[in-house]
A and B are shown apart, each in its own frame.
Chain A
Amino acid sequence: MLGSESIDGSATNGGGAPRARTVIVAGQSSQRTREVLQALRGFTHVIWPTSLEATLEQTGSADVACLVIADDLHEEPLDEFLQVARELRRNLPIFVITDPDDVAEAVSAMRHGATAVIEIPPSYAALRDEVARAMQ
């Protein structure tokens, strides 16, 4: 079992059959990462692996609904990490949280495999919507 922090919310979606759909959060230990974890708490099973290796290992799991890159990844450039994750799972929704107005970073993330880039602030509503869509 990989070392990971797990926030176990409801594993059901709507009124349908129970599903174990996991959202992986990647990012250094920071205020923003904590906010992302908090924003996703309660309506899905969220894991925050303790290393990038563990993150990628989990990303390969069929149970994963999406990957959320919440903040800087320490030693790993975002674009390279995105490429590796994308090669692992071609169709996996990958959402990147970024500072407002950093259009160049957003474009670069999209070119390297992000499904969408969400600017924070103003709010986490857009992230929750994207994650909910990814789990449908």
Chain B
Amino acid sequence: MKDLPQTVFVVDDDDAVRDSLRLLLKSAEITCQPFASAQDFLSAYDAAQPGCLVLDVRMPGMSGLEMQQELNLRGATLPVIFITGHGDIPMAVEAMQLGAFDFLQKPFRDQELLDRVHRALARDMDNRARLRHTDRIRERLATLSPREREVLDLVTQGKANKMVAGDLGVSQRTVEIHRAHVMQKMEAGSLAELVRMMMAVAPRQ
């Protein structure tokens, strides 16, 4: 599948801010798509589209913080850079607690914003690569039989074949066969790799 180009979505109700950001990003050869409201952006939002958001905190209708909450509910991972002319610490803390990537007060230097945009785009690329990786692992896990899954769970807990055989009430030879199937289906070259795969898809503590 061909990768879509990264786009910076600028959401700000101020025409002048949108125009100046569009020009700034264009000068840095970054694709930009401006929106005048949170609602406009959410209507057009496509999770498959990589990039990042530059989002005004205060807007009529839905605020930037409310939009971030809505994106969280939708499971969006798009990094958000908040910009505001009237920022204070409680607002910044709330934005960061909601998962914002960064929070920038106006006026800011062009380079400050570009640096953050580049970092946010890199983060988005990492996030998407990680998600693709864990998706692939989950797809492989889904191909395992219930017994193979049991063997996988026990060997990745560090148990030897003999102990797994005892736990499951089967012969050691049977465990060896299941284990070979697990390694093959999971496309794992070693037990260590298998453990890393399981850690990658384990729920975060």
Task: Name 19 interchain pairs, CB-CB below 8 A, sorted by A.
Answer: A91-B205, A98-B89, A100-B89, A101-B88, A102-B89, A103-B87, A103-B88, A106-B89, A107-B102, A107-B103, A110-B93, A110-B96, A111-B96, A111-B102, A116-B97, A117-B92, A117-B93, A118-B89, A119-B90
- Check B33 for interface membership: any CB of A closer than 8 A: no
Report the nearest B residue to A115, measured CB to CB.
Answer: B97
CA distance A116 to B88 in the complex (A): 13
Interface residues of B in 62-108 (CB under 8 A from A): 87-90, 92-93, 96-97, 102-103, 105
Question: Given that A91-B205, A103-B88 are contacting pairs, would A116 and B102 also be in contact in the complex, using a CB cutoff of 8 Å?
Answer: no
Are A119 and B89 within 8 A (Cβ)?
yes
Interface residues of A in 67-124 (CB under 8 A from B): 90-91, 98, 100-104, 106-107, 110-111, 115-119
Are A103 and B205 within 8 A (Cβ)?
no
| B contact residues around A106 at 8 Å (CB) | 89, 92-93
| A contact residues around B89 at 8 Å (CB) | 98, 100-103, 106, 117-119
Leading 8 A-B pairs by shortest Cβ distance: A110-B96, A107-B103, A106-B89, A119-B89, A103-B92, A103-B87, A106-B92, A107-B92
| B contact residues around A118 at 8 Å (CB) | 89
| A interface residues (Cβ-Cβ under 8 A, vs B) | 90-91, 98, 100-104, 106-107, 110-111, 115-119
A contacts with B: majority SS: mixed
CA distance A100 to B87 in the complex (A): 12
| A contact residues around B205 at 8 Å (CB) | 90-91
| B contact residues around A116 at 8 Å (CB) | 93, 97
| A contact residues around B90 at 8 Å (CB) | 119
Report the nearest B residue to A96, measured CB to CB.
Answer: B93
Are A103 and B103 within 8 A (Cβ)?
yes
Report the nearest B residue to A99, measured CB to CB.
Answer: B89
CA distance A118 to B102 in the complex (A): 18
Are A110 and B97 within 8 A (Cβ)?
yes
| A contact residues around B97 at 8 Å (CB) | 110, 115-116
Question: Given that A91-B205, A98-B89, A117-B89 are contacting pairs, would A103 and B96 also be in contact in the complex, using a CB cutoff of 8 Å?
Answer: no
CB distance from A23 to the nearest CB of B (A): 19
CA distance A117 to B103 in the complex (A): 14
CA distance A34 to B103 in the complex (A): 31
| B contact residues around A102 at 8 Å (CB) | 89
| B contact residues around A111 at 8 Å (CB) | 96, 102
| B contact residues around A100 at 8 Å (CB) | 89
